[in-house]
Structure 1
């Protein structure tokens, strides 16, 4: 039986904790995978739950305390007092982005993503934003169907830049954000739509051969045993045309 999390004393060993703004204290869990399941639950989604990796509960408590004392004006607060990094988008807003994607209009898509990351990532759940509710389709599903590789590369470049991602999330915890980065990369590449098709399968069925090859190559760069805890291999960064590898745990 593995030792309790509280018995780990080595400063080099980090434990995984989850919490939301209403939590009395951080809750230790056994793995990042378990943490991701918890923060995806209805309660944690509603209260913007977060996962952190820290050497002790005291360190995790410091992170929670920072979340509690966020300086928010009344008109910026959600029901539980937490301010998401970007405003929540309406269905009409998402439709504008979807239309630009389908054109495809890269400059408009890039501009909208820069203004609000929620166009592609639901920051309350750390999941790809659903742009087509009926098909449960996110940006990668729609882009794969029309061979919009440039948009997919742009999104992936945001995801692998831990420093930029931390700024966007307003979360100054690189190790935790590195896991969020890996989780989002895996989600974009492997999440199926309502028909059970992941983006690479959609590209193949649409005869977008170049896009299929691109997505398939990216998937092969993921760690087979634990893609969420281990960053993609070096080839991944070459495929998205990024010379500097920035996703390092």
Structure 2
């Protein structure tokens, strides 16, 4: 039985500490009841168990008895203030009623409303999707704190649908929204920042790595299989994305690239996705938050080993404002070397400049301190045939 550790204080069912309990519900056909209810204080361990069973559900609680009830029955206290775990039954007093997590003020959408959202994602109706999910967060988050299902049967969530539709813009909207603590605070009417951060972490992992029913494929499988290179690039940019997950046929995303792709130039798309699913590296532009330091070209990094930018709390805070990639490690190191000491001249396309007229790189860096380094990097990215992303504050994202 996964019971509270000795350093928590339980008195008459009341949690007298700040401990959070994570209950994992596993359906009866997959559960060993000799182990008791699956209740953890370590969120990572709870997630590991939940991910091993595709039918499992995961939820955090303030009280142990609530987590135990959820772990055994898939719901909290369904029988009039009795905790029924299959191993014990106890009458709860008035002071120990289920008061753990706040319930959301939003009602779950009707099935036809979820179908409408799915069709909007498939058709690329970005404005409708954004307005809908912010008007009612339950379109993305179910009552069980898991991704809402937009298509029964195969059990597609919104990210499955966006990946299958090859729509990177809406896939990015979905991931950035469920990663936004303000969205989670809106969902629960709870201003606690730590609670919101914990929930976003769980939701992000579930959206990225939950397989569908039947083929057991994650959104990454969908994107790779349909040749959606931009979606693949987005998904693997998240360190939480598990590239090793295998589908019903024991194949990873890397083993089914472009199996369902159509259109021209499929081989080029396949090559790009293969590179993305390897250990990819990016070369960033680093700028001080207060602009007290000149911008610099940072060391190559990969999503699995993100850069440590602010080791010294007394130094100006550095942020990534643009990046080029993906590339393999050797290519990224070469790109950085050329970017730091580029040729004295580079050809920049401009309506006011003749095609063969060159611009001094040194001059550009000093004359355009806000975007000069980015302009050089963007031009080099074009020469190296790699993607280029810049952060635009008015959009609140990289584009």
User: For the superposition of Structure 1 and Structure 2, which TM-score range results when normalised by the shorter chain?
Assistant: 0.5 to 0.7
Query: Which has the larger displacement, 194-203 or 172-181?
Result: 172-181
Question: Alignment partner for residue 235 of structure 2, among 194, 203, 215?
Answer: 215
1:46 and 1:154, CA in 2 relative to 1: closer, same or farther beyond 3 A? farther
Partner of 2:125: 105
Partner of 1:85: 105
SS in 1 for 2:20: strand
Structure in which a larger fraction of residues adopt helix: 1
For residue 193 of structure 1, report the CA deviation from its aligned partner: 0.7
Partner of 1:159: 178
Please, which runs of 5 or more residues in structure 1 have no aligned partner? 20-27, 48-60, 68-82, 223-231, 244-249
1:128 and 1:66, CA in 2 relative to 1: closer, same or farther beyond 3 A? closer
Instruction: Please tell me whether the aligned partners of residues 5 and 15 of structure 1 are also in contact (alpha carbons under 8 angstroms).
Output: no
User: Aligned partners of 2:224, 2:198: CA distance in 1, in Å?
Assistant: 29
User: Aligned partners of 1:196, 1:46: CA distance in 2, in Å?
Assistant: 31
Query: Deviations 1:96-124 (Å, cap 9, x if unpaired)?
Result: 111111112111111111221111211x1
For residue 129 of structure 1, report the CA deviation from its aligned partner: 0.6
Larger Rg: 2
Instruction: Please tell me whether the aligned partners of residues 104 and 189 of structure 2 are also in contact (alpha carbons under 8 angstroms).
Output: no
Aligned residues: 191
Query: Deviations 1:196-238 (Å, cap 9, x if unpaired)?
Result: 111011011001122112212224678xxxxxxxxx9579998
In the alignment, structure 1 residue 64 sits paired with structure 2 residue 96: no
Q: TM-score, normalised by structure 2?
A: 0.41
Q: How does 1:174-189 map to 2 (within 5 A)?
A: 174-189=193-208
Q: How does 1:22-33 map to 2 (within 5 A)?
A: 29-32=40-43, 33=45
In the alignment, structure 1 residue 148 sits paired with structure 2 residue 167: yes
Query: What is the RMSD of the two structures over their aligned residues, measured on CA atoms?
Result: 3.8
Partner of 2:220: 200
For residue 159 of structure 1, report the CA deviation from its aligned partner: 2.4
User: Aligned partners of 1:237, 1:190: CA distance in 2, in Å?
Assistant: 28
Partner of 2:156: 137
User: Aligned partners of 2:115, 2:7: CA distance in 1, in Å?
Assistant: 45
User: Aligned partners of 1:66, 1:125: CA distance in 2, in Å?
Assistant: 12
Question: Alignment partner for residue 43 of structure 1, among 58, 63, 75?
Answer: 75
Please, which runs of 5 or more residues in structure 2 have no aligned partner? 11-16, 24-38, 48-57, 60-66, 80-95, 243-304, 308-318, 323-388, 394-399
User: Aligned partners of 1:66, 1:29: CA distance in 2, in Å?
Assistant: 16
Query: Which has the larger displacement, 232-241 or 191-200?
Result: 232-241
Q: TM-score, normalised by structure 1?
A: 0.63
For residue 17 of structure 1, report the CA deviation from its aligned partner: 3.5
Query: Deviations 1:66-93 (Å, cap 9, x if unpaired)?
Result: 95xxxxxxxxxxxxxxx63212211111
User: Aligned partners of 1:3, 1:113: CA distance in 2, in Å?
Assistant: 39
